[in-house]
Structure 1
Amino acid sequence: MDRIQLVMVTGLSGAGKTSCMAVFENLEFQCIDNAPIELLEQFANLLKTSKEYTKVAYAVKLKDALQAARILSNLDWIDLSILFLDANDDVLLKRYKQSRRSHPLLISERAASLQEAIEFERELAKPVLRISNKVIDTSMMKTNKLQQLIEDYYLHSETDPFRISFISFGYKHGIPKDLDLMFDVRFLPNPFYVDELREQTGNDKAVYDYVMEKPETQEFVEVLTPTLDYLFKNFEQEGRMHLVVGIGCTGGQHRSVTLTNYFADHYAKIYQVHRLHRDADH
């Protein structure tokens, strides 16, 4: 029988599990949200005998994540992937204040303050993070970008070609937590200091040309391209299905967007390529 694709979704409270499950539902996954862990083995046996469930997204509370992973990883009819949702403390605090919801640990009186609840969960998350296949930091992420990432990660089959996701980002907004390779382009000339380019991004031709025409950029591309050629070839031969490459500058608007666009266009001639500009305005 074909193995069932099951994505176990977990992470910090307030990091976007509900939004994530809505994305999976839109992608025609069967979605199970916070079912009791005591029923998981019975549900897994149902998956074995039912033809209805071929793609499943299973949301599980962080406190139950390790137990759920142990159960599901031992079943040979399930292809398990663990997706961990994260966000920085300031964002989590802001989300709870804006929504006026109570943190689960406050409700259960296991924490005396929201900050204490977040710190408690971060300790709880450490062993789960070690076994997670994908980590998505939703701190600066809008729903459409979350959907794009999930599509890149999970809408494929075992016969799909090797895929590469290029992601631009700004260091001042934090480093994405799911990168396989990361390159810092903050040494390149910055269009931010050119008045007529400041409000544009690397998606605009004027900014793209400004960055790409600089001798420093030309040398960087000349040095990095053969390195990427070598890495991509060997990752593909090793059996990797998907690689995430991050390119960062200060604000994630100009240089990183330009280089991400350049390399995405270049490697789209060879591989299946996706691009995401995490922090660019447009």
Structure 2
Amino acid sequence: MILFILLTSILSIQAKSCASTPITCESILYRDLCQSVEDYNYNSLCEWDDYSYKCQKVSPAKLPCNQFLNEYTCKQKSYKCFWEGQQTSIFSESSQQENTEGNCVDLTCQSFNNRFSCRSFADISCDWQNDDCIQVTKCEDFKTIKGCIKSRLNQKCAAIVDGKVVQQQKRLAPDDLNLQCLIEDCKHRIKMSDCNFVNGVQCFWRNNKCSKCSDYDTYDSCIKNQGQCFWNMNQCQNIECQQLSNPIMCNLKKGQCIWNQLKYKCELNSEKLDEHCYQEYLSTQNKALQIDIMILMIVIMIY
């Protein structure tokens, strides 16, 4: 019975440490805001229903492409469809609605027949390789800078050429370059303004470079990180919002935390969807849980 109570307490504490109330599509009242909600890879998460005048979550299970009978519904209402046939002006909604000269077909990477048109779309990542546009599922499998930078994977990728990070806006021919496409890390952000959250990990700017807490392996180096990190169990870890006791320290973590003036405490910022339970903290949290359980078992065996 004692074992059950103690173990339940530990699990409860661990679970509550990353609780938040994220915004849902249904809670958004305005069309423009609804249509602007995107994930890390710029995929739309919400869509506006013109019939109910409500915002709703994008459904991956849309109607089959061949059910859309004009160019407008094929391009605007579908998820992964392509209008094969006569193309009208992209600026004229009425002409697209009147255009039935063609068919709405499933869009695939193979739908793009040259290097310049080959691009990622929806949640599909495409890359030009061996004179063909193919689907890629891992960062390390990209062979072009364009494919690497514009990937639509769950994790963002970073293009490294001759040891240097290629910025998002650069367009370099990839044929004769030494390209490495890696899962993006804080260290790949080369501007202070871009040093915030990368693939769910909190970053901060120190010594003219973008870092994260786990980059520092000594107590002294860990605690000097602008109040972002703390030393725990011989690891440099992220500080949770509720551990910050004043507004100045809370505001240093403004991407993740927000200061509640009424309650006079630091809380999770529920308006930021992807910045609460980020990977680096969760991995250390799981390790801490394992250690807590081991200590608990030892105490029980002693008694």
Please confirm whether the aligned pair reaches a TM-score higher than 0.5, indicating the same fold.
Answer: no
* Structure number with higher helix proportion: 1
Considering Cα pairs closer than 8 Å and 6+ residues apart, tell me whether 1 or 2 has the greater RCO.
1
Say which one has the larger Rg: 2
